[in-house]
Amino acid sequence: MAPKVSEEHKEQRRLSILTAAKEIFTEKGYEAFVMQDVIEATGMSRGGVYSYFANKEDLFISLLEHKQQQSSNELDTLISQNKIWDTIKMIVLDFKNAEHSDNQFAAAQVEFNILSRNSSNAKEFLQRRYQWASDFLCSLINEGIKRGEFSPNAPVHHIARYYITFFDGLSIESIFLKSQELNSDEQIDLFLGHLGSMLGVK
Amino acid sequence: MAPKVSEEHKEQRRLSILTAAKEIFTEKGYEAFVMQDVIEATGMSRGGVYSYFANKEDLFISLLEHKQQQSSNELDTLISQNKIWDTIKMIVLDFKNAEHSDNQFAAAQVEFNILSRNSSNAKEFLQRRYQWASDFLCSLINEGIKRGEFSPNAPVHHIARYYITFFDGLSIESIFLKSQELNSDEQIDLFLGHLGSMLGVK
DNA sequence: TATAATAATGACATTGATGTCGTTTTAATT
DNA sequence: AATTAAAACGACATCAATGTCATTATTATA
């Protein structure tokens, strides 16, 4: 006559699956991840997990959406309190100091991008996500222009995409190279120089 | 008392497997490729194919080695007949005009890079290969310096790696985006500008 | 033409992951 | 305490791919 548990409880469950999944995706990457892992990690049953997420793809997309929501909020406050160029530098340099696990998860994401190219669901999601990232960067740059910090010498959306490309490239390579073989720090410095000159930072 | 067939014949067979495999890797990507595909495409038997290549990984690595040998020769003549900067521009701009299938194969390569991060065999191969590419670019730049074409404002090997990173990034993105969504042409132009300025082209 | 070495075949055992579904358990309501 | 809606369980059928190996076919030599 009544639902067995509260919405809250279900949300809790969902979250605990997502949390466990994130850890496993980070550790093993996307392809190697199997549902069994999440079943063991949460202690739930096969059917239980499947009642929350239809499959691995659904699980991963939900995870990305969840993360996106979080970081979106954080960024808003960051921007309101700092110069745009300082914010950008902060984000970029964060990549240098990122936890190993952050890089590992970024790798899993790249892997997902690639492996999902034949899934129309995932592809649509990825295109939206790319668009979102690109738009976000554009709006960041435009805000900088409005505030008089930048006068770019290339179309804003090209700069934004160049930015994304560079970090996608770095993400892949960090998968199979140690950061000193890759010279990622130095590459990031070079990139930051180019970014500054494209934006015409004053 | 005699081997059944000539070395030539075996080499021929090997080559025909590689050729078929390349086409399939291009079409389907690395992960989706299964040995059955190559068996059907060549008309050989399962055991036959396996007697030439131990598994998918072995097949793909052999394919890359074969390709590398080919392009290495082509490049040598290119360099001897042109200015280094013109050669570099040619290579970069080739990316713009590349056949769709070339991009597709590049995507399969990126996929291989990522999926093979837990295979020590493949990882070692990839590290060697990255080193080779990086060294090749370095020697290209150094030749340019010797000829008085360049005076770079950053360490040569950082420039080389930056180059590789950019194209790796572009390869990934071209997997799930059309080139006009990606603005790959414009990104390449931006990149070429940065490359020119890093190299101090005269 | 016989034979010996080996290339080529394809059926098969094995593995591992997936998603489903009939059953059992649980807890909110009466 | 009894009822009942639905949450959770886990055994299972299914599928797809892998690599092996006993058998068969082939061809260069004797």
How many CB atoms neighbour CB A123 within 10 A? 16
Evaluate if residue A2 carries a pLDDT over 50: yes
DSSP secondary structure code for residue B82 in this structure: S
Evaluate if residue B1 carries a pLDDT over 50: no
Give the mean model confidence (pLDDT) for residues A172-179. Answer: 86
pLDDT by residue (tens digit) across A34-68? 999 999 999 999 999 999 999 999 999 999 999 99
- Cross-chain residue pair B190–A155, CB shorter than 8 Å: no
Residue A87: both structure tokens together: 């914010």
**What Cα–Cα distance (Å) separates residue B176 from each residue in A107, A118, A135, B170, B182?**
16, 9, 17, 11, 9
Give the mean model confidence (pLDDT) for residues B83-92. Answer: 95
pLDDT the model gives residue B2 = 56
pLDDT by residue (tens digit) across B151-190? 999 999 999 999 999 999 999 888 888 888 999 999 999 9
Residue of B nearest to A176 (CA): B117
What are the residues facing A201 on neighbouring strands?
A150
Structural domains in chain A, sorted by start? 7-199 (1.10.357.10)
Comparing C-alpha atoms, which of A54, A42, A50 is closest to residue A15? A42
The set of residues, in sequence order, having a beta carbon less than 8 Å from that of A197 and lying 6+ positions away, is A153
Sign for the CA dihedral angle at A60, A65, A70, A75 comes to positive
**What Cα–Cα distance (Å) separates residue A200 from each residue in A82, A136, A149, A194?**
18, 19, 8, 10
pLDDT by residue (tens digit) across A126-152? 999 999 999 999 999 999 999 999 999
How many CB atoms neighbour CB B142 within 10 A? 14
Residues of A in contact with B169 (CB under 8 A): 164-170, 172
The answer to whether the CB of A137 falls within 8 A of the CB of A160 is yes
Residues of A in contact with B137 (CB under 8 A): none
For the ranges A16-25, A187-196, B108-117, the lowest mean pLDDT is seen at B108-117
Task: Tell me the C-alpha distance between B31 and A31, whole Å.
Answer: 9
Average pLDDT in chain A: 93
